Structure 1
């Protein structure tokens, strides 16, 4: 069973991870599609360093954290039939995925009806699939269908899609992580996929590794309350901060050709050290905030923050960039203020829906955040 404090930690880090996701998606440097090896190709300034360091460094533990929590919690429910659990996942994962993917398409369609917002959508290149098809209005019906099911405009939904796949494959994953002869081979392959940043429509290396690790931690009754000597958060915290800073500087300076594999390897160190640091080293922070009624209330809306913020954050960022580019410090202003606005708008919307239309709210969120 999950201890009361770890239940609070799971809820705390789920909320924090969702909030940080909005900031990462508000990243607005020239090379704005972030990969572990992304190099900004612009001067190193306070703004560019801060945005890259946070969005492609310190905040990158969040998705592995969510996958690990998901794997751990799913493994706890082994007393139920897998078929029964899969049926529940259709309601909690598949339905919200299809609903919010459709919402993203509808938002884009509406924005394209007006000249100004159509130009904003066009400027993001979000909908471009060819030289002649740059807007949703130019899509064929089958291209709209593919967008809805496989390539959501609400791009954050990839997490739900692959999580559903891992839930479906849970019996096989559990067997692999528990079978003595298979476990080492399985984790070796998955770690290689993670290091290589492998990804596809149905599964990718990072999610599979940390979901499987969450399953293993639960099944082996690994101590997630107290760090052992190999998981000292003070030491890993030094690694976390120092490697993320060095990686950021290297990404801007491009000291030598072929630096991308170095940035990739350092990125993986940052992710791993960040997970250990925040999980074992931030217990006082968790206790403080989870002891506040207002924060516990806010944390119930994690999913709505996740579902609502994109593609709105992309369109809003582009609109602000087009309007504010002549102001000093406009990129940092957008990076900090816009996510805060969107997070609170999502919370207000969620609170109104939950109070006024609880059944609709439950359907939209897959039954999450009702308390």
Structure 2
């Protein structure tokens, strides 16, 4: 029999309880809810790798992205997954983060919790941003890998300034602190901002939830970002997690207005239509694509959260899966820019194998991240703790 998983064992990117949190008012999550949170923390990270491994043109995905490649089963499947089925990954991570942060709102002074976030969020952000810069600079020193860096086109300063080795000191500082080469790190800084603002968010969702969620919902629906680390998605879904916990709502049982099977059918229809439009139009209509994109995000969270119980039970009963789930943060921090450079190399080595590269490369990189994390945790636990903000120790 599996022992119930205490929240202290959670490896969620967003939160990591400490003895200080537990000392004020000991808490335990429902055992299955704890397992479900671990499951989705890992699966959402894998989805993140797949979205960033998308290798059709244009590479950058947004709500109304078109596809310049010919329509084939492979190209359609890539778009359907990367810009459709997997797009709920960030909203569900924000919701999990908000729920867990509110779960530990048990009397510990907010200042103490914020100080801990410097270690668990800010320090990994700065370290991995530096690693991304240094690793890219090192690749630029060799002609073959320099071409991969240029082809990946991750520079924030456009094609006229594609190399880290060509940055000015000011540009290096900007990329280290605000626009990392591992661009997925924005999520850590965004969480830090919402953690800092938690007392105000808590007050808003406690006293005026209707007003707050209407405003945040409109920002999310319209894709409006107030600044690089504050956007509608985080404001809506982090606060939703807080609200669910504050109201003590049963998050394991779907509400009556959300029948899972009909909603799953609707979700798939939305995804199929959106993917079709991306190939059918050279410039897909922005507003319909945006609405379909947001509908897919919202439906995806509900369908996959409430409809995955059987899968969660089977997966979390497997020792290997539970072990891998402990390294979800390593998958998160390590995969970019590695997946971008590896994609360019793989497509040059095996031209025309876009779908195969898309399907296999993320699994290879996730496996590498887990292996590296396991070795470091065993051999240099201090370094591993620093790189992960203490997660998994």
TM-score normalised to structure 2 length: 0.90
**Counterpart in the other structure of 2:30:** 3
Structure 1 residues 71-80 or 38-47, which shifts more? 38-47
Alpha-carbon distance in 1 for matches of 2:52, 2:126? 21
Judge conservation of contact 2:153–2:159 (CA < 8 Å) in 1: no
Alpha-carbon distance in 1 for matches of 2:284, 2:158? 30
Judge conservation of contact 2:213–2:236 (CA < 8 Å) in 1: yes
SS at match of 2:102: helix
Judge conservation of contact 1:194–1:205 (CA < 8 Å) in 2: yes
* Partner residue of 1:195 out of 221, 225, 230: 221
Alignment deviations for residues 58-88 of structure 1 (CA, whole Å, 9 cap, x no partner) = 1111111100000000001111111110011
Matched, 1:24 2:51: yes
Matched, 1:113 2:136: no
Q: How does 1:304-323 map to 2 (within 5 A)?
A: 304-323=330-349
Matched, 1:260 2:283: no
**Counterpart in the other structure of 1:212:** 239
Structure 1 residues 94-103 or 224-233, which shifts more? 224-233
Matched, 1:338 2:364: no
Alpha-carbon distance in 2 for matches of 1:259, 1:297? 44
* Partner residue of 2:166 out of 138, 154, 162: 138
Alpha-carbon deviation of 1:363?
1.0
Alpha-carbon distance in 2 for matches of 1:360, 1:138? 30
Judge conservation of contact 1:98–1:148 (CA < 8 Å) in 2: yes
Matched, 1:288 2:314: yes
Gaps of 5+ in 2: 1-27
Alpha-carbon distance in 2 for matches of 1:164, 1:358? 24
Matched, 1:278 2:301: no
Alpha-carbon distance in 2 for matches of 1:243, 1:130? 34
**Counterpart in the other structure of 2:41:** 14
Alpha-carbon deviation of 1:295?
0.9
* Partner residue of 2:328 out of 298, 302, 307: 302
Alpha-carbon deviation of 1:41?
3.0
Judge conservation of contact 1:112–1:118 (CA < 8 Å) in 2: yes
Alpha-carbon distance in 2 for matches of 1:175, 1:278? 29
Alpha-carbon deviation of 1:133?
2.1
Alpha-carbon distance in 2 for matches of 1:130, 1:195? 29
**Counterpart in the other structure of 1:249:** 276
SS at match of 1:18: helix
Judge conservation of contact 1:17–1:63 (CA < 8 Å) in 2: yes
Structure 1 pair 169/359, CA: closer, same or farther in 2 (3 Å)? Answer: same
Alpha-carbon deviation of 1:123?
1.7
Runs of 4 or more above 4 Å deviation: none
**Counterpart in the other structure of 1:51:** 78
Structure 1 residues 67-76 or 218-227, which shifts more? 218-227
Alpha-carbon deviation of 1:195?
0.8
SS at match of 2:230: coil
Alpha-carbon distance in 1 for matches of 2:274, 2:249? 31
Judge conservation of contact 1:239–1:270 (CA < 8 Å) in 2: no
Alpha-carbon distance in 2 for matches of 1:203, 1:131? 27
Gaps of 5+ in 1: none
Judge conservation of contact 2:65–2:284 (CA < 8 Å) in 1: no
Q: CA RMSD, aligned part only?
A: 1.3
**Counterpart in the other structure of 1:38:** 65
Matched, 1:347 2:373: no
Q: What is the number of residues matched between the two proteins?
A: 364
Alpha-carbon deviation of 1:235?
1.8
